[in-house]
Structure 1
């Protein structure tokens, strides 16, 4: 088994190769604005460092967010394109799950909040229970202003950039800011082995910032009457 993993849902562009037993290599770069430029070179670097040729990859794993529309889309499209070109399956992993799994693997026990930067003064968040080196989701991912997250949840130890951005509302920090593809790959291998459903559906949670302009409003009867009068006056003056 060779799993090529990637995630672009947080501020990190992160990639890894896993052989089914351990992570062979990881590459991380923090730059929330350059996912498109940086992802492909990192994939080449990580495969070379892991001694893995593209035709040796048996699975692709990708973080499905939640995350800002543009950055998240880069990872998803790249993963699906690579998998299609190689004829291998692509598996999706919630990016918040990967952060929680990393916290659990690092020794965290008990409940945990994962809160990542959603911009617009909001966070993507979910609540977990960590035990035995793994994390169980207690809620579905959501997007809210930090003050709208239930108070009892905000008091939990928190992974992600939420505490860095909103320390007065998320005061208890776990030292994990962004997704690490090594943790995502390890979680993907575990789920692949147990036959867990792993859809590659992006968790945008809200509409993208760039949206098609709304259709023009229909004119009211009074506006239509005024237009006809103006046209008649213009014709009379010709």
Structure 2
């Protein structure tokens, strides 16, 4: 594709973000907005989109694809992002791509700090984390084990590497991770949140691979099957 405008949205955590990746003449750049707005996602998301389109000097009709943070993450946030992305993709008749929040977090850690072996963990509440492990190299990330929702004490690392770095809010539960897992991590950072900027780059990769979907086909990924709290019997 010689020219491309791809919009990405994410409200899977306390942060609200949007990004616009544009490609022209073989060069790609990304415009981005990011704010910590834990209770104002619905108020800030679409204004961010308007700001990005204005900065790029384009109308919504110029967009070639839409992406969103598909999860795991906040159930409410995932539904907000999916609904907004589906509405835009349907109205513009363009492909929709769901991007893993954990993969986007791994890419952010790699691009910002050059980490190579990354454990991403987001606080899943109820004493659990959403977690996965990644190998990162040259701005590319590859999944080392399946994304899971799990108690920190039950989480285990692949056996073939020992120089892991943990990133994400799930490591606020650091003391609950098994001692052997802690020993394999040189450090852990709790302040990184998923961002639409990395999702835009990942979505562009997936679009190039022909993975764009119709608006109604892309759905949030919760990992936890039962998303509603039930009173114990």
Taking structure 1 as the reference length, what is the TM-score of the superposition? Answer: 0.79
Match of residue 76, structure 2, among 61, 70, 76: 70
Q: Is the 8 A contact 1:100 1:112 kept in 2?
A: yes
Deviation at 1:210, TM superposition (A): 5.8
CA RMSD of aligned residues (A): 2.6
The farther-off stretch of 119-128 and 144-153 is 144-153
Instruction: State how far apart, in whole Å, the 2-side matches of 1:175 and 1:44 are.
Output: 31
Show the counterpart of 2:42. 36
Within-5 A mapping of 1:107-186: 108-150=114-156, 156-163=164-171, 165-168=172-175, 169=177, 172-174=187-189, 177-186=192-201
- Can you give the 5+ residue segments of structure 2 that lack an aligned partner in the other structure? none
For residue 71 of structure 2, give the secondary structure of its aligned residue in structure 1.
coil
Q: Is the 8 A contact 1:23 1:185 kept in 2?
A: no
Deviation at 1:72, TM superposition (A): 0.7
Rg larger for: 1
Deviation at 1:106, TM superposition (A): 3.1
Taking structure 2 as the reference length, what is the TM-score of the superposition? Answer: 0.80
Report how many aligned residue pairs link the two structures: 212
Which is strand-richer, 1 or 2?
2
Tell me the alpha carbon deviations over residues 191-238 of structure 1, each in whole angstroms, 9 at most, x when there is no partner. 211334666231111222367x9xxxxxxxxxxxxxxxxxxxxxxxxx
Show the counterpart of 2:56. 50
Instruction: State how far apart, in whole Å, the 2-side matches of 1:33 and 1:148 are.
Output: 31
- Can you give the 5+ residue segments of structure 1 that lack an aligned partner in the other structure? 214-238
Instruction: State how far apart, in whole Å, the 1-side matches of 2:157 and 2:207 are.
Output: 35
For residue 41 of structure 1, give the secondary structure of its aligned residue in structure 2.
helix
